[in-house]
């Protein structure tokens, strides 16, 4: 528990610093997170018996955040190149690697590289720093609520086949605390700087809290398949990068895409 608290006390301000700085600093930080998470996913896939395509994953983990940061219009061309490069890697390793291995790595690329790239896209939006702060307030408060309520009050198992420690009380506690964190964040920000779409963000908060918990369960499912407890031991008391950003990899892309749809409809 002490390690978990110390890591959070150190890690959260560091991440907030990079969010505040934005630009090249934030892009570099996101690239590093994407690469480290891809290394962890590669290890998980290996434990599942999936033939490795490390160069494919690692290259995408670095290139796609750069692409999203500077030239998003090049995305279709990059996707075509990556489809063919993945197919060539599979051909070169046949019969050890096949279509299933390539498909899993394409999904992993989408899950990690595209997921982390949305961190940059959200930060680049108008009031992007505030939106990023809102998103992580929902995520972190959901995590805190589900952990403490589940630990001390949890009695009824919830998704035990995926994670035996999950409880219904923890899930409800995470939802309530996530809503509280998101709403409070919106109110505090709006008192300092008028927050665009404040009512809409408050309306989205319960959905994002639920999706954050779903992201946590999804990563737990991957680890259960691989028979590992944590994605790595990089962060004392927390596990790996994927363990800490599993919820964010669902929440941030969803928030960004929903806001983009709303802007398109009402612009």
Rg of the chain over all Cα atoms, to the nearest angstrom: 19
Determine which helix (DSSP H) or strand (DSSP E) holds 142, and give its type and residue range.
Answer: helix 128-153
Q: Please report, for the chain, the start and end positions of each structural domain, with discontinuous segments joined by +.
A: 2-266
Rounded to whole angstroms, the Cα distance separating 20 from 171 reads 31
Q: At what angle do helices 23-48 and 115-124 cross, to 10 degrees?
A: 160
The pair of three-digit structure tokens given for residue 231, joined into one six-digit string = 């994605």
Give the chain's length. Answer: 267
The pair of three-digit structure tokens given for residue 250, joined into one six-digit string = 């669902």
The whole-number pLDDT of residue 45 equals 87
Strand, helix or coil at 225?
Answer: helix
Percent of the chain topping pLDDT 90: 40
Rounded to whole angstroms, the Cα distance separating 141 from 66 reads 30
Lookup result for tokens 């060539």: 88
The pair of three-digit structure tokens given for residue 5, joined into one six-digit string = 């608290």
Residues in the chain, pLDDT under 70:
1-10, 93-98, 236-238, 267
Rounded to whole angstroms, the Cα distance separating 21 from 29 reads 11
Question: 42, 52 in Cβ contact below 8 A?
Answer: yes
Rounded to whole angstroms, the Cα distance separating 139 from 160 reads 22
The pair of three-digit structure tokens given for residue 179, joined into one six-digit string = 């809503």
Determine which helix (DSSP H) or strand (DSSP E) holds 59, and give its type and residue range.
Answer: helix 54-70
Q: Is the peptide bond before 95 cis (omega within 30 degrees of 0)?
A: yes
What does the pLDDT look like over 98-122, one tens digit per residue? Answer: 677 778 888 888 899 999 999 999 9
What does the pLDDT look like over 50-63, one tens digit per residue? Answer: 877 777 888 888 98
CB atoms within 10 A of CB 78: 15
Question: 27, 120 in Cβ contact below 8 A?
Answer: yes
The whole-number pLDDT of residue 103 equals 81
């Amino acid at each position: 528990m002490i390690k978990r608290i110390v890591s959070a006390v150190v890690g959260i301000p560091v991440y907030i610093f990079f969010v505040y700085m934005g630009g090249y600093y934030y892009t570099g930080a996101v690239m590093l997170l994407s690469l480290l998470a891809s290394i962890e996913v590669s290890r998980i896939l290996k434990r599942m018996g999936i033939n490795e395509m490390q160069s494919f994953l690692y290259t995408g983990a670095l290139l796609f955040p750069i692409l999203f940061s500077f030239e998003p219009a090049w995305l279709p061309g990059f996707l075509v190149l990556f489809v063919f490069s993945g197919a060539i890697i599979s051909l070169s390793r046949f019969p050890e690697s096949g279509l299933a291995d390539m498909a899993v790595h394409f999904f992993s690329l989408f899950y990690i590289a595209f997921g982390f790239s949305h961190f940059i896209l959200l930060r680049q939006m108008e009031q992007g720093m505030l939106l990023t702060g809102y998103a992580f307030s929902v995520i972190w408060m959901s995590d805190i609520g589900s952990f403490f309520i589940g630990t001390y009050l949890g009695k009824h198992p919830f998704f035990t086949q995926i994670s035996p420690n999950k409880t219904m009380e923890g899930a409800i506690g995470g939802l309530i605390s996530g809503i509280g964190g998101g709403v409070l964040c919106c109110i505090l920000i709006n008192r300092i700087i008028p927050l665009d779409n404040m009512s809409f963000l408050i309306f989205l908060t319960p959905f994002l809290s639920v999706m954050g918990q779903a992201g946590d369960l999804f990563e737990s499912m991957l680890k259960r398949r691989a028979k590992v407890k944590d994605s790595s031991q990089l962060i004392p008391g927390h596990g790996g990068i994927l363990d800490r950003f599993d919820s964010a990899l669902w929440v941030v892309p969803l928030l960004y895409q929903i806001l983009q749809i709303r802007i398109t409809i009402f612009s």
